[in-house]
Amino acid sequence: MIYEEFKADYYPGEAVTIQLATGERLTGIVRDKARLGSKVLPDGTLTQPYSRYSTSIDGRPDEEAVVDSEHIFRDRKIFTKSVLRSFIKKTVTREAWNGAPWLVKHDVAAQYHIDTRVPPHLRYDNKLLERKQQQAQKRALQPTNGSHDVNGANGAFHNLGPTRLPELKPAPKNHKLPRTHQHDHPAVPIGRSPNVFLDQDHGLLPPVPGDNPFHFPVPFRQSAPPPVAFTQPEPPPPPPPLPKYPIEDLQLPPRDDYVRPSLKFLCHDPPEGVVDSGAQNEKIQMKSVGPLLETWDTLNVYCEIFKLDSFTFDDFVQALEVTNKDTPCELFTEIHCAVLKQIVSSEADGGKLLVNLPELDDEEEDEEDQSTSPTPEPEPEPKPTGRATRSSLAKLEAERLRVEAEAAEKEKTPEITVKHRAPELLIDFNWIEELKKRNFQDGGWEMIMVGLLHQLSKNPRQTVACEELLAALVPPDEEPSVELIRDQYSALDFGLRISALQILCMLTMETKAIRGYMDDCAETMTGYRKEKIEWQRNRKQAIEDLRALNEQRKLLLPDNMPPSPPVDLAEAAKTNGDAKASGSYDSPEEPSEDGNDSDDDGRARRSLRRGGDRAAERQRKREEQERKREAELAAKAPKQSKQFVKLLKDIRKKEDYVKTCEDEIAVIDNDLREADCGRTRVLGKDRFWNRYYWFERNGMPYAGLPNSSTAHAGYANGSIWVQGPDDIEREGYIDLAAQHQDEYKAKFKMTVPQRKKMEEGRTSVFNARQWGYYSEPSQLDSLLNWLDTRGFNELKLRKELLLYKDKIVANMENRAQYIGSQVEMSNATESDKKDEAKRMSTRTKVQAVSETTHFRCLDWTNTMAIDELGHLHSEPPPPPKPRKGGRRSRG
């Protein structure tokens, strides 16, 4: 075994523990190794080879020790079977066919200059040829049935007649066999009879005279037919080796028997060619779905930093959708104010800018230049000199041509159109100072947003998005004012609203608060992992102890078994119970079906009551007899030994401790999941490289914060989101080059896009900017059935889905209950029953309900800010409470 071979072998540079002649144990490093062979002793025996190691001693730089294998050790954790197994797994590999040689991986071979060329006799084609030759030899030897060839005679007459096996019979007593049947005698070996060719019928061959079986007369030699040439049939090629699953998903054969469940789309512009009958939001575009999910996830994962109550994804979408001047929404306002507070600290904390913003100096200089240059003074015409010369006339002509060229250039250059009037609005407004003071009321936070977007627009990466927002907030054809900004923001398009929030959230990712929160979570996760390892170690030890205790219980069980009940008593009890259960006894008090019950109803009722009393009495007596019988059996049973009773208690304690360990491990796993906030974890990818996300997977509780104002919803997102492949994956796996598509089509009779259309059905996503979702448990079950575990991607994806299936289904059901209209329908039904006289028609009723619609997002309240700050983010802090002494003086 490899482990045993290297267990007692040490190499230079390895940290070891040595034992000196005095018995002292010291640590050191192996400096040199000498392998000494075996010796031949005078009696001829060989001694075992051994090794000597020259080692340094830690703490004694001038000393070295020479020890043998018996006095050198290593730490048990350094070289274990698991370490060796992991080393082999990471350094070598082999192909998927029987007898394949082990090959060193390329990176290891390149690092240590190992030759990875496979010898010819170990290659697959040579192994295949060798196997074919062995099969051919077996087929060639099979028809001979074990008979011996003598000088090739058997081969010459191989096909001249059927081969008959000699009949083996016992020799009859006192009977002399004729010579022609000598081979039937059991004492003569088969195939060694001198007349072996004469005693059996060989078909076309006539009997050969004489004793020599190889001497044929001349007429026979002349009349003998020519030997038939025997041609060995070519063996069929062996089937190709079966693939070792899992393999690449798209290398599996296509399946036309099952189609992926249809996706739902949140937007009104699903991908081209998609046929979707699901409900769609007319205000949301596909390009906004990704930023919408990203922003919601960021706000909920870091809600403790922003001091925001967690909120459901549906409430977030509704808040962005319905908030306007007539319907103010606390959720919409609190999100903006909470995120803005992370950009600039308050005056009490120093009022520092916490993020890096582009400078506005260059623009201000340009504005100053533009303010002075719009009214250029006309150049004075050159005064005519007293005498015009040719040189002066040439200068005048050149000046005139230059002026004409500049005028023509100005005519060609289009005038720069003003996209917005944010600079005019911000002339007397310093948004950083206002943000320090937390002036969010009366359009304050909207003005701060304009100032921030205007400064961020100087960043080339954000210019387009910020300019689009500023053009909508501060239009060029209207006079900028605070009232205008408030009205424009309340009427802002859904896509622009989510774009502004995305810019804000991405800006806060640079702050020290978010970075510090990530670091704290990472340290917390490290502590959780150590604690989990400790509990796992305790559970493993407890399981081993429990196994040993169960073995002891099995040994002590025969001496502590209670005796089996007597057969006659058991059968009597069973018979008695069956008879009573079947009701075979006759009860004269029971009313007869043939009798006339209407004659005396009172007497019938009295008889039934008496029958019930007697039945209760019989039940009581039966229970009393059973108790007596159990007491007798317990008295007769031998008492269990104290050792056995103590053993049973120990087993129960160990089982309870194992359960405690498992519960603690489950709690730590959940804590690890919630603390994992560095990035959003993907559930996995399918065969077409679509990504599957369940945003409750990490970074947040499954149902949001338990003390949130909407914690009764019981879910956070409640859907599985499907994102299309990114451009690199799409070009490398889906939209292949024409040559690779032809190869794939030759193998599977279709291209990859055709397969995608066939197996995904009528709904697909084609790039990373497209999103669909599943929100029903039945869709999750269909998705699990569609995934093929023989592929790498879908094996991992299905494993993750099964791991969180119960939580996913629970959140989906809670979401359907939270956003569904079942409660409204039930309330409407109850009101109809109570007021049937004033029932309205269906059309009038629906209209009335729609007029008084109450949006769910309006029920959300930022309780975290109220508890920690004493007020909402959008409100000023309350005035300080008066002192108690003052109240006493007034009282």
Please report whether residue 291 resides in a domain: no
Residues 21, 26, 29, 33, Cα dihedral to 10°:
20
Tokens of 582: 């079947």
The arithmetic mean of pLDDT across residues 624-651, rounded, is 78
Greatest CA separation found in the chain? 170
Task: Give residues with Cβ within 8 angstroms of 443, minimum separation 6.
Answer: 482, 483, 485, 486
Which domain range does residue 22 map to? 2-120
Instruction: Please state, for a pLDDT cut of 70, what percent of the chain lies above it.
Output: 73
Count of structural domains within the chain: 4
Per DSSP, the three-state class of 862 is coil
CA 108/CA 86 separation, integer angstroms: 14
Residue-level pLDDT at 489: 93
Residue 199 has pLDDT above 50, yes or no: no
Task: Give residues with Cβ within 8 angstroms of 774, minimum separation 6.
Answer: 261, 263, 264, 719, 720, 722, 780, 783
Please report whether residue 188 resides in a domain: no
Higher local confidence (pLDDT), 840 or 648: 648
Residue-level pLDDT at 414: 54
Query: pLDDT tens, 287-321?
Result: 999 999 999 999 999 999 999 999 999 999 999 99
Per DSSP, the three-state class of 56 is strand
Is residue 67 within 8 Å of residue 54, measured between CB atoms?
no
Are residue 728 and residue 852 in the same domain, yes or no? no
* pLDDT class of 365 with cuts at 50, 70, 90: very low
Lowest mean pLDDT, pick from 156-170, 464-478, 776-790: 156-170
**Dihedral sign of CA atoms 576, 580, 584, 590 in order:** positive
Residue type, 532: K
Per DSSP, the three-state class of 57 is strand
Are residue 729 and residue 788 in the same domain, yes or no? yes
Is residue 539 within 8 Å of residue 665, measured between CB atoms?
yes
Place of tokens 């949130």: 708
611 C-beta neighbours (distance < 10 Å), count: 15
Lowest mean pLDDT, pick from 97-101, 231-235, 540-544, 734-738: 231-235
Is residue 191 within 8 Å of residue 210, measured between CB atoms?
no
- How much of the chain is helix, strand and coil, in % rounded to 5? 50, 5, 45
Q: Which of 120, 140, 172 is the last residue of a domain?
A: 120
Distance of CA 152 to the CA centre of its chain: 69
Is residue 761 within 8 Å of residue 277, measured between CB atoms?
no
* pLDDT class of 829 with cuts at 50, 70, 90: very low
Are residue 778 and residue 836 in the same domain, yes or no? no
Lowest mean pLDDT, pick from 13-17, 540-544, 744-748: 13-17
Residue-level pLDDT at 225: 58
The arithmetic mean of pLDDT across residues 387-409, rounded, is 75
Is residue 615 within 8 Å of residue 587, measured between CB atoms?
no
Question: If you count them, how many residues does the chain have?
Answer: 891
Are residue 734 and residue 843 in the same domain, yes or no? no
Q: What's the mean per-residue pLDDT of the chain? A: 80
* pLDDT class of 774 with cuts at 50, 70, 90: very high
Residue type, 852: T
Query: pLDDT tens, 727-760?
Result: 999 999 999 999 999 999 999 999 999 999 999 9
Please report whether residue 433 resides in a domain: yes
Are residue 841 and residue 804 in the same domain, yes or no? no
CA 847/CA 827 separation, integer angstroms: 16
Place of tokens 């002494």: 885
Backbone angles phi, psi at 334, to 5 degrees: -65, -35
Are residue 60 and residue 88 in the same domain, yes or no? yes
292 CB-side CA count, 13 A: 29
Residue-level pLDDT at 131: 83
Please report whether residue 452 resides in a domain: yes
Lowest mean pLDDT, pick from 111-115, 143-147, 679-683, 736-740: 143-147
Is residue 265 within 8 Å of residue 276, measured between CB atoms?
yes
CA 84/CA 74 separation, integer angstroms: 15
Nearest residue to 674 (alpha-carbon basis) of 303, 314, 311, 307:
303
Is residue 95 within 8 Å of residue 124, measured between CB atoms?
yes
Nearest residue to 504 (alpha-carbon basis) of 435, 442, 551:
435
Residues 148, 153, 155, 160, Cα dihedral to 10°:
-110
Residue-level pLDDT at 360: 76
Is residue 435 within 8 Å of residue 342, measured between CB atoms?
no
Are residue 797 and residue 732 in the same domain, yes or no? yes
Residue-level pLDDT at 179: 45
Place of tokens 């490289």: 689
483 C-beta neighbours (distance < 10 Å), count: 10
Residue-level pLDDT at 415: 54
Are residue 115 and residue 86 in the same domain, yes or no? yes
Nearest residue to 267 (alpha-carbon basis) of 313, 317, 315:
317
CA 343/CA 356 separation, integer angstroms: 9
* CATH assignment at residue 32: 2.30.30.140
570 C-beta neighbours (distance < 10 Å), count: 12
Tokens of 586: 């006759």
CA 298/CA 632 separation, integer angstroms: 71
Tokens of 20: 């000196």
List the beta bridge partners of residue 691. 685, 723
Are residue 263 and residue 361 in the same domain, yes or no? no
Residue 593 has pLDDT above 60, yes or no: no
Are residue 734 and residue 747 in the same domain, yes or no? yes
Per DSSP, the three-state class of 31 is strand
Q: Please, what is the end-to-end C-alpha distance for the chain in angstroms?
A: 93
Per DSSP, the three-state class of 787 is coil
Lowest mean pLDDT, pick from 425-434, 584-593, 864-873: 584-593
Any idea what DSSP says for residue 436?
H
* C-alpha to C-alpha distances, 210 to 200, 216, 382, nearest whole angstrom: 15, 9, 150
Residue-level pLDDT at 192: 43
Q: Which of 85, 104, 120 is the last residue of a domain?
A: 120
Please report whether residue 19 resides in a domain: yes
Residue 94 has pLDDT above 60, yes or no: yes
581 C-beta neighbours (distance < 10 Å), count: 8
Per-residue H/E/C for 471-507: HHHCCCCCCCCHHHHHHHHHCCCHHHHHHHHHHHHHH
The arithmetic mean of pLDDT across residues 252-267, rounded, is 92
- Return the exposure string of 664-683: e unless at least 16 CB atoms fall within 10 Å of the residue's CB, then b: bbeebeebbbbbbbeebebb
CA 310/CA 316 separation, integer angstroms: 10
Q: Is the peptide bond before 565 cis (omega within 30 degrees of 0)?
A: no
The set of long-range contacts for 519-527, using a CB threshold of 8 Å and a minimum separation of 24, is 521/675, 521/676, 521/677, 521/678, 522/678, 524/671, 524/675, 525/672, 525/675, 525/676
Tokens of 136: 């051919």
Please report whether residue 528 resides in a domain: no
CA 102/CA 123 separation, integer angstroms: 11
Are residue 502 and residue 427 in the same domain, yes or no? yes
Please report whether residue 667 resides in a domain: no
Are residue 434 and residue 501 in the same domain, yes or no? yes
CA 365/CA 258 separation, integer angstroms: 66
* C-alpha to C-alpha distances, 330 to 55, 311, 314, 463, 869, nearest whole angstrom: 74, 12, 15, 30, 16
Continuous segment of H or E residues that includes residue 372: helix 361-372
* ∠ Cα 113 119 123 (to 5°): 120
* pLDDT class of 612 with cuts at 50, 70, 90: low
Please report whether residue 656 resides in a domain: no
Q: Which of 62, 91, 120 is the last residue of a domain?
A: 120
Residue-level pLDDT at 387: 56
CA 772/CA 765 separation, integer angstroms: 7
Distance of CA 376 to the CA centre of its chain: 68
The arithmetic mean of pLDDT across residues 92-109, rounded, is 88
Residue-level pLDDT at 688: 96
Query: pLDDT tens, 492-511?
Result: 999 999 999 999 999 999 99
Per DSSP, the three-state class of 375 is coil
The arithmetic mean of pLDDT across residues 523-542, rounded, is 96
* pLDDT class of 135 with cuts at 50, 70, 90: confident
* pLDDT class of 69 with cuts at 50, 70, 90: confident
List the beta bridge partners of residue 19. 25
Residue 249 has pLDDT above 80, yes or no: yes
* pLDDT class of 634 with cuts at 50, 70, 90: low
Q: Give the CA radius of gyration of the chain.
A: 47
CA 554/CA 557 separation, integer angstroms: 5
* C-alpha to C-alpha distances, 168 to 184, 191, 791, nearest whole angstrom: 6, 12, 60
Give me the helices (H) in 242-281, please: none
Task: Give residues with Cβ within 8 angstroms of 425, minimum separation 6.
Answer: 447, 450, 474, 480, 481, 485
Strands (E), 679-745: 684-685, 691-693, 720-723
Residue 583 has pLDDT above 50, yes or no: no
Instruction: Please state, for a pLDDT cut of 90, what percent of the chain lies above it.
Output: 47
The arithmetic mean of pLDDT across residues 668-677, rounded, is 95
Continuous segment of H or E residues that includes residue 322: helix 313-322
Is residue 180 within 8 Å of residue 199, measured between CB atoms?
yes
